[in-house]
Structure 1
Amino acid sequence: MDMVTRLASQKPVVIFSKSSCCMCHTVKCLFTDLGVYASVHELDHHPKGRDMERALISLVGRNPSVPVIFIGGKLVGLTDKVMSLHLNGDLITLLRDAGAIWL
C-alpha cells in the first residue's frame, strides 16, 4: 500500500493500469486528449505489480482493480467515476486544481 500511495502523490495525475485492458486504454486516451500528461504505472509490467494490484483492490473495493486514477494525490476511482466526472464537467476543474492542465 505504501508504494501505491507514494506513487499516487508524485504527479498531478497517476493511473494504475494494465497494458491489455481496454478500459485502461480508454482512460489514458481521455487524459491525453485533454492535454494531460499522466504518470502511468502498468501493473503487468512492474516487478511489484501484483502487490500493487492487491493494494488497489483493497482501496477501490472491487476486482478488476484497473484502471485506478488519482488526481492531486487523491483517489478518484475507476473508469465509471472518471467518465461521470468528465460528463458532468467536474473533471476539468479537478485537473486544473491539481495543476495537470492550464485551461
Structure 2
Amino acid sequence: MGNSLPTSVGLSNDAAVNQIQEIVSDNCVVIFSKTTCSYCKMAKNLFEGMNVNYTAVELDRNTNGSNFQDVLEQMTGGRTVPRVFVNGAFVGGAMDTRRLHEEGKLLPLVHQCQVKRKS
C-alpha cells in the first residue's frame, strides 16, 4: 500500500531540503522511515489499517538518508524516525500519530488533503 521513492545520489543540504519539501507537498501522507524500525512499522500499519495510501521514504535505503535525517531534524526538531507528515504538516512520530488517530483527528487531516487534491 505504501509507495517507496527511488534513491538519489549526493545532494547538497539545500537540495535535500528542496527534495523533502517537494515529497511532502506532492503526497498526502509521507513517512520518513527506516526498514528495521518497529515504530516506523507501527506508523505504516496505522495508515494501512485506515486504508490510507502513504509514501514511505526509507532513509536506510536512500543514498542521502543521513543527509535527509539531518534536514528533518532541522525541520521538525527531532532526528528519530518515523517522521510523519500529513497534508504538508509534520504531525510527529509513531506515538504522536497514533494519539491523533485515537483522538479522531488523523483521518480528517488525511481527508482534507484528499479533497484538496481532487479539486
TM over 0.5: yes
Number of residue pairs matched by the alignment: 99
1:62 shift after superposition: 2.6
TM-score where L is the length of structure 2: 0.77
The residue aligned with 2:31 is 15
The residue aligned with 2:95 is 80
1:9 shift after superposition: 1.1
Q: Residue 2 of structure 1 aligns to a residue in which SS?
A: helix
Which structure has the larger Rg?
A: 2
Q: How does 1:19-98 map to 2 (within 5 A)?
A: 19-63=35-79, 65-98=80-113
Q: Residue 76 of structure 1 aligns to a residue in which SS?
A: strand
1:18 shift after superposition: 0.3
Larger displacement relative to structure 2 (36-45 or 74-83): 74-83
C-alpha contact (below 8 Å) 1:23/1:67 kept by paired residues: yes
TM-score where L is the length of structure 1: 0.89
C-alpha contact (below 8 Å) 2:24/2:30 kept by paired residues: yes
Q: Which ranges of structure 2 fall in alignment gaps of 5 or more residues?
A: 1-16
State the superposition RMSD in angstroms.
Answer: 1.3
C-alpha contact (below 8 Å) 1:3/1:52 kept by paired residues: no
Percentage of matched positions with identical amino acids: 30
1:60 shift after superposition: 2.4
Moved over 6 A (4+): none
Counterparts of 1:61 and 1:36, CA distance in 2: 26
